[in-house]
Amino acid sequence: MKLPRLILASGSPRRAEILTSVGWEFTKDSADLDETERPGEKPEDYVRRLAQEKAAAVAEKYDAALVLGADTTVVIDERIIGKPVDLADAKRMLEMLSGRWHEVLTGVALINKNPKSEIRNPKSIVGLQRTRVKFAPLTAAEIDFLAENGDPLDKAGAYAVQAQAALFIEGIEGDYWNVVGLPISLVYEMVKEIS
C-alpha cells in the first residue's frame, strides 16, 4: 500500500508530526487566512469552513496536488474557545475547562487536483471529527503551571493533550489524535474516497 503524497495547508507542527509518525509523505505550505468567526456561525461550520478555505488557498498554487486543510477548535457551552492572546487569557480558558467536559472539533478538507482527470474542476470533500475531553478540577497552582510551562499561546483551548495537560485529563471520548490536532484515521478514509 502506498499513501499518496499530500500538501499540508497548515503550519502546525503537531499536524506535521502526526503525518510523519504514520509514514505519510507531505510538503508543508500554509495558508495565511483571517480566522475570524462569522456572526451566528456554529462551531462545526466554522472549522469546516476554515479547513476548506485553507485547502483552497494552497491548492490555487499547484497544477496537480492532493491538498489537506484542517482547523481545530475547542468548544465549551456551545462557544468556541480559540487560541489565547496572552497568558492571562490562557489561564482564563483553563479555568473554564477545569473539572468539565468540553469538545474538540476538527474540520478536515481535501482537494484533489488531478491533471489526468477529465473533470475540469478539482474534487473536494470536507469532514468533521468530534472528541469529548474531561479535565480534572484544577487548582490555581495547576492552572499557573499549565499556562507557564505548556506553551499555550498557539493551541486551541490553551493546552496540549500530549504534553503537560496529560497530567490533568480524566477522560477522552473519541479520537485522541483529533485532540492533538489531526484526526488521521478520518484523513485516511477521506483520501481513499477522493483519490
Give me the amino acid identity at 112. N
Packing angle, helices 87-97 and 140-149, rounded to 10: 130
Distance, in Å, from the CA atom of 25 to the CA atom of 141, rounded to the nearest integer, reads 41
Helix (H, G, I), strand (E, B) or coil at 11: coil
Catalytic residue among 71, 86, 144, 154: 71
Q: Is position 29 annotated as part of the catalytic site?
A: no
Burial of 173 (0-12, 13-18, 19+ CB in 10 A): exposed
The values of phi and psi at residue 128, to 5°, are -140, 135
C-alpha count within 13 angstroms, C-beta hemisphere, residue 194: 26
The catalytic residues are 71
